Structure 1
């Protein structure tokens, strides 16, 4: 009898190759940009001292380490990510930081064999928008939480509400082939843009007391890092890896002017329009 293919194979391929490796290289810059979300998620998901917490899509481990420190030495925080390169970096950072109650696993939360009812809380910082089957994923995640356990995560709202995050794509568009219209149900950065859709997914997955609240977060990035950020990550970063040299030069030439409205002194500042989602198992 033929076996079905494992879920999220495209995401696994991306995050174990170029995307994961790029995020490893960009970790200091990304941690600086995403620091406000780390505090937001940890505050919303904190279940109390001595608790067990699961961090989905933990990346290089910043949120895992923050929650591990928050729950104290009698608790623990486990980071799970599909990317071997990012988990390896997270483990190295944890060793250097001397945080004994943080640990990491490589795995896909949609299909991972969690210990049933073990975690007092589940958190995620932009790590849950990439599942092929979100209902199956959140059902599996719910089974890992104890009855009454917390869920807290942040996800991007719509591209229209996140001008900064789409500036590079708009600036580069004249030099690239027309992009197909995005599928709102496909895994990706803005897959949870529709808050009502997020609530339906969690309801279908068995979560209760669901709240999907707007969170507008002030972010900043050092001016010296801005062009590295916009040319290495996202759709433009991917395009620049594939286009010819002349096209790449045209794109990189227009990007500084496109981002100029966000730059003041030594920083670029922008608003991040997100959902803060909480629920109970």
Structure 2
């Protein structure tokens, strides 16, 4: 419901900002899992399609990259981009990769850029995805490490906390942005789901949000963005001021630059 309502629409509207922020991961994922020209690739949690389109360009017109996402607004945005860019090897499907009945052995590789941390049952999801991959197919995905490793990602929540109702901390393994913070847990999930040659390694890449985009990013996305939707004008102004003050020391030369601390998970079907 979240990804097909407020969050999905906002992510679609903010796709250009998010794609610039996450751009360093695209080439890395394509390089890790590229199956060769004419290959067939599955992109899990494809969002507005940046990674799907990049892989589709690499596999060429005889290949296919299928992007899957549960968000209708994001899938619609991805299809519009593929059509506008003339990338015929990109296709998109609105579905839950945990339960969707993919054709067995259909894919030569599987990739995901921050799209696999939201499954209700990650082990079942990765078992379903493995069945969709041919024997020997490569899996490569990135997932965030811990909040402590990614202070930029939690600055907004800390700054807005005095203005929000107290909420109990989420369980560390609950679906969400940091659900895969524990690399050992990620290894166990993939092992139990039947993947082989599992490797989960730290990957730190530079991130950047332009100063001109910063306030839209911090006031529209994530838990703070959702909370601000229901606030009155006065409280919204107070939260926006707190966010502006919190991020001001981080702005240098027109942008906030930070390290994206992630896991790069690789395996074989």
Which consecutive residues of structure 1, in runs of 5 or more, have no partner in the other structure? 1-12
Q: In the TM superposition, what are the counterparts of 1:127-276 in structure 2 within 5 Å?
A: 127-276=115-264
Query: Matches of 1:242 and 1:39 in 2, distance apart?
Result: 38
In structure 2, stretches of 5+ residues that fail to align are: none
TM-score normalised to structure 2 length: 0.98
Q: Does 1:89 align with 2:73?
A: no
Q: Partners of 2:36 and 2:108 in 1: how far apart?
A: 9
Q: What is the alpha-carbon distance in structure 1 between the residues aligned to residue 205 and residue 249 of structure 2?
A: 18
Deviates more, 1:25-34 or 1:140-149: 25-34
The residue matched to 2:23 in structure 1 has which SS?
helix
Q: 1:62 aligned to 2:50? A: yes
2:108 to 113, 117, 120: 120
What is the deviation of 1:133?
Answer: 0.4
Aligned to 2:8: 20
Query: How far off is 1:129 after superposition?
Result: 0.4
> Corresponding residue for 1:49?
37
**TM-score relative to the length of structure 1:** 0.94
Query: Per-residue deviation at 1:246?
Result: 2.1
Alignment partner of 1:36 is 2:24: yes
User: Offset of 1:199 from its aligned partner?
Assistant: 0.4
Separation in structure 2 between the aligned mates of residue 24 and residue 273 of structure 1, nearest angstrom: 24
| Counterpart Cα distance in 2 of 1:193 and 1:270 | 18
Cα offset, 1:260, TM superposition: 2.0
For residue 261 of structure 1, report the CA deviation from its aligned partner: 2.8
- Aligned-pair RMSD on alpha carbons? 0.9
Which residue is equivalent to 2:92? 104
Between the two proteins, the alignment pairs up a number of residues equal to: 269
